[in-house]
Structure 1
């Protein structure tokens, strides 16, 4: 029972931080995601809202990484399985899976289905590395944490402008 309470407290805390970041309050923070063995960082202000992965309505004749349409409180979101989009194993639909509503700030109802959230990260705990020029612009920036783990930084604006991401049809 204590675990449910702790998870609920964490989600309430994280929702408050997301709200503050969206309104420009509070210090800079990143949200950590785990995709396969890879760590990803996203600006908290770009993170939008995090919700438990809801039931998705399937869409025919789309690429395998497009998971479908989600109804979140009456708003429809186009859901991309971020792991599958990256070429990793598709996100398992379990208790760890979350929907990250990333497009709202940028005028798009886009959402990323992610396998695991790793919580808030402080930018000052990371050192920037050389950009990976072989990777698409939305994921070129790389950082290493205090433990030596390499992380990629997701640029939501550039991801939403990427023609490959936006072209969901077969």
Structure 2
């Protein structure tokens, strides 16, 4: 009970600090920037969970090629999805590249026990890091958000993890 109250107090303090930072005009990071395949993605911090280094993944037979299998992450069996593979890319990764990649667990609030394989964590980004943005195409899947362009001309695709976790393709891992 004491742990639950301490956690609640910590969450309240963090929320108050974020609100104060916004009120003072301090830039607050909104996204975790990652690279997967040849693409750059912005994943909402509120929908992202813990980050893990690559760990052994047990393959699951008769599943989609982008579903890599299950991994034991902090004592919980978690489905591992190759983000680039799911979104249409098919990056062939040598074993060494997997050891340099990361697993990003989805926030527990999304109620999907899954982690995304990403090739590289780039850092935190806020809206002020970009010089332009474009809305998603009318025919784009519900999980596609705006595309942002940074000062170097790199295009970053916003990806709603909440919408992705509810998308039929994501939920249908059987081959």
Classify the TM-score, shorter chain: 0.7 to 0.9
Gaps of 5+ in 1: 1-18
Task: Tell me the C-alpha RMSD between the 2 structures.
Answer: 2.0
For normalisation by structure 1, the TM-score amounts to: 0.79
Matches within 5 A, 1:1-170: 24=15, 26=18, 27-90=28-91, 92=93, 93=95, 94=97, 95-126=99-130, 127-170=132-175
SS in 2 for 1:63: coil
Distance (whole Å) between structure 1 residues aligned to residue 48 and residue 118 of structure 2: 12
State the shift of 1:160 in Å. 0.7
State the shift of 1:113 in Å. 0.8
Asked if 2 retains the 8 angstrom alpha-carbon contact of 1:81 and 1:91, the reply is no
Gaps of 5+ in 2: 1-9, 19-27
Is the radius of gyration larger for structure 1 or structure 2? Answer: 2
